[in-house]
Amino acid sequence: MHTFFLLEGAYLILAGIVLLVTLFVTTRPFMGKGAVKKGLGWVSLVLAVLIGAHYWVTTSRMAKVAEAFEAGKPVLCESRMLRKASQVVEIQKSREWRIENNNFVSPYYERPFFLARCIVK
């Protein structure tokens, strides 16, 4: 559950804002009878499907990245540390990287990389 909130927290907040806007619009006098129930129902359904699909795609990619890493394949991770240098870090098990709590960690690199922000080369 922690991973879900870590990955989808921003989208859950945005979904809440969208639901508040939907509630505001559907309670206006020009809206038909039952608009609140229909509007909130459909918007909630669409948001739940989209957030669920995003979570499934992201966790599937994370599993593939971890599997490739354990097989010794190179993994590319986004680096936001130095904008003037390379924005991608290549990670391999043979270079003393390891996975801890869904993060790539190395004794030679000061910050970890979250598996969700990496792809297999």
Mean pLDDT by 10 residues, the chain (121 residues): 81 94 90 88 95 92 92 86 71 88 87 87 85
Query: DSSP alpha helices (H): ranges in 1-121?
Result: 2-26, 35-70
How many residues does this entry show for the chain? 121
pLDDT value of residue 110: 83
Strand order in the sheet with 88-91: 88-91, 75-78, 118-120
Look up the pTM and report it: 0.79
- pLDDT recorded at residue 86: 63
